């Protein structure tokens, strides 16, 4: 019960934050929550199942472009466009998984990276439709949900919070379910899991597909809430960022993705205000993490003090 209380308390604290923070900071917090959804999906694949992917930018981009283009070309409102983007991310993940999961380890990482690069080049090739490097802004009609304009501060923040809350609670329920325990068993000892009657390919494909749904939802939400779709979100950077969020917050912990996304966002925000070489500070943070908390912040806290953290 205290596990659910902890997660609900975080959601309540984020809801309260909108009454305390300035519009600038609430917008940044909404951005962090969307990125945390992306990281949650990556955590299910990497933190719980052991699938080290460098192709999640493809899934984020699939959701972003599916939502943005459906709003732009078909005039869909935010709700249907979000659904289209979410399904696009999951479908793309399943399609990639059918091929990439025939490999393992470093080979899996390389294959997913190749798929992501192919997706990025495809976006550039169809520049008349996708906007290429410059991208495009989402039409106002596509940023309306139930009569509310998502381009304004409060509806945007509450929409990001609602999506984050659903993603967080579903993630918690999933990892505490028998299926979630199967994912952990697959990560720890695939051969023993196979001997117990589980199909590693099917379990990993399911995990990757769910991860893709999260990534697609994050990409769609980013497009609809912040009004921009661009090829930069499909680059290798956005395959590495969710991994950094998860490693920093704690791989295999449900709250780790949010903590990692928030800390990394704040670090980049502060460091970029001091110097153009802000990645130097990111590197220092990662070195410190490897040296002092190799299991991430929450992973280390769970190991040493709070054993019940999921």
Please report whether residue 303 resides in a domain: no
* 3 state SS for the chain: CHHHHHHHHHHHHHHHHCCCCCHHHHHHHHHHHHHHHHHHHHHHHHHHCCCCCCCHHHHHHHHHHHHHHHHHHHCCCHHHHHHHHHHHHHHHHHHHHHHHCCCCCHHHHHHHHHHHHHHHHHHHHCHHHHCCCCCEECCHHHHEECCEECCCHHHHHHHHHHHHHHHHHHHHHHHCCHHHHHHHHHHHCHHHHHHCCCCHHHHHHHHHHHHHHHHHHHHHHHHHHHCEECHHHHCCHHHHHHHHHHHHHCCCCCCHHHHHHHHHHHHHHHHHHHCCCHHHHHHHHHHHHHHHCCCCHHHHHHHHCCCCCC
Please report whether residue 126 resides in a domain: yes
Please report whether residue 267 resides in a domain: no
Please report whether residue 243 resides in a domain: no
pLDDT of the residue at 89 = 98
Single pTM value for the model: 0.97
Please report whether residue 292 resides in a domain: no
pLDDT of the residue at 186 = 93
Please report whether residue 269 resides in a domain: no
Q: How many domains does the chain have?
A: 1
Please report whether residue 256 resides in a domain: no
Domain that holds residue 74: 27-235
Q: Please, what are the averages of pLDDT over each run of 10 residues along the chain (310 residues)?
A: 95 97 96 98 97 97 97 93 98 98 94 97 96 92 88 96 98 97 94 92 98 98 97 95 96 97 94 86 85 92 92
Please report whether residue 112 resides in a domain: yes
């Amino acid at each position: 019960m205290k596990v659910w209380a902890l997660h609900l308390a975080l959601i309540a604290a984020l809801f309260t934050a909108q009454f305390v923070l300035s519009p600038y900071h609430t917008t940044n917090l909404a951005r962090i929550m969307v990125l945390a959804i992306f990281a949650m999906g990556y955590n299910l694949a990497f933190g719980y199942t052991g699938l080290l992917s460098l192709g999640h930018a493809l899934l984020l981009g699939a959701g972003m472009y599916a939502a943005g283009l459906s709003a732009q070309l078909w005039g869909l409102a935010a709700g249907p466009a979000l659904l289209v983007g979410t399904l696009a991310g999951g479908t793309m993940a399943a399609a990639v998984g059918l091929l990439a999961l025939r490999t393992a380890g470093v080979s899996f990482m390389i294959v997913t990276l190749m798929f992501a690069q192919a997706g990025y080049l495809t976006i550039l090739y169809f520049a008349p439709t996708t906007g290429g490097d410059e991208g495009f802004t989402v039409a106002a009609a596509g940023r309306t949900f139930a009569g509310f304009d998502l381009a304004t501060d409060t509806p945007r923040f509450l929409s990001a919070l609602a999506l984050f809350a659903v993603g967080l609670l579903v993630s918690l329920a999933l990892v505490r379910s028998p299926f979630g325990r199967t994912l952990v068993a697959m990560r720890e000892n695939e051969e023993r899991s196979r001997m117990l009657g589980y199909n590693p390919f099917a379990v990993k494909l399911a995990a990757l597909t769910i991860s893709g749904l999260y990534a697609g939802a994050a990409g769609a939400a980013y497009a609809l809430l912040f009004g921009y779709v661009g090829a930069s979100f499909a680059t290798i950077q956005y395959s590495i960022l969710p991994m950094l969020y998860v490693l920093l917050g704690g791989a295999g912990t449900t709250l780790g993705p949010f903590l990692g996304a928030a800390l990394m966002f704040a670090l980049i925000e502060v460091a970029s205000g001091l110097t153009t070489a802000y990645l130097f500070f990111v590197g220092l943070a990662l070195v410190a993490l490897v040296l002092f908390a190799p299991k991430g912040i929450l992973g280390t806290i769970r190991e040493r003090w709070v054993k019940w953290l999921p």
